[in-house]
Amino acid sequence: MFEMFEYDFMQRALFAGVIIAILASISGTFVVLRRYSLIGETLAHSALLGVAVGLVAEYNPLWSAVVFALLSAWLIEYLRSAFALYSDAVLAILLSGSLAVAIIIVSLGGAFNNSLFSYLFGSILSVSSEDIVVIALFGTLSLGVLLLFSKEFYFIAYDEEVAKTSGIKVNILNFVLVSVVAIIIALSIRVVGSLLIGALMIIPTIAALQFRVGFLKTVFISLTFSLFSVLAGMALSFHFSLPSGATIVLCIIGIFILSLVANRR
């Protein structure tokens, strides 16, 4: 198994996969606790729109994905807070709208090729050195913000109204959280793909919640599941020539099923 890491592209894939697994599992805990699971899919489609723009304009798609995901996250939170719209309604509107515009752009620009498919379904084995730099830079910033405001994020997820009366800047921190989630998702679509990133962010946390332990232990269990799924998915993808993103997600689903069975007994 370890001989596959003798190749440079596998070393880059390992580095990117570990970073994404850490970020997705930690941020996913707050997203699930807030019952905001669909935001992953919505921002992933917004990031895909950024990828489409980047491909047509011949810019680095990863940078444009980050920008469009951030803009979408801010719009979601603004519509939710300013117009008192239901969260799921806002997410559904942005999800379908972003995907529709992305399809039109790539169709008009003639960019519907293998590059776009790698962002749709993930291609961790084709991560470049430039992608590693972007993932490491934004990943470090995102992780720092999550750890810095972890207590506040947990308090808001537990009871937003009580958090407001306690003096916590709930509105500002909500924008901070969705911004961090947007960046993580934009970074992750190269690894897992825009159609599958929601699974990497949500399912490990749901599997960890089955053990009914405290918040911190749940985060560590989710992190363990996520890391194992990425490593196992990479190994299976390398040895059996399988799509990396789909293989990682299937590993996560397998762990979720095992956690259900174990806790049922």
pLDDT computed for residue 71 by the predictor: 92
Instruction: Check whether 2 has a pLDDT greater than 70.
Output: no
At the top level of CATH, which class does the domain 2-264 belong to? Answer: mainly alpha
* Region class of 169: left (phi > 0), else alpha (psi between -120 and 50), else beta: beta
- Residue ranges per structural domain of the chain: 2-264
pLDDT computed for residue 115 by the predictor: 66
Greater model confidence, 89 or 156: 156
pLDDT computed for residue 141 by the predictor: 92
- Burial label, 185 (beta-carbon count in 10 A; 0-12, 13-18, 19+): buried
pLDDT tens digits for range 23-78: 999 999 988 888 777 888 888 888 888 888 888 887 778 888 889 999 999 988 88
> What's the pTM?
0.86
pLDDT tens digits for range 168-223: 888 899 899 999 999 998 888 877 777 778 888 889 999 999 988 888 899 999 99
Query: In angstroms, what CA-CA distances link 208 with 60, 167, 193?
Result: 35, 31, 23
Torsion of CA 203, 23, 78, 41, to 10 degrees: -40
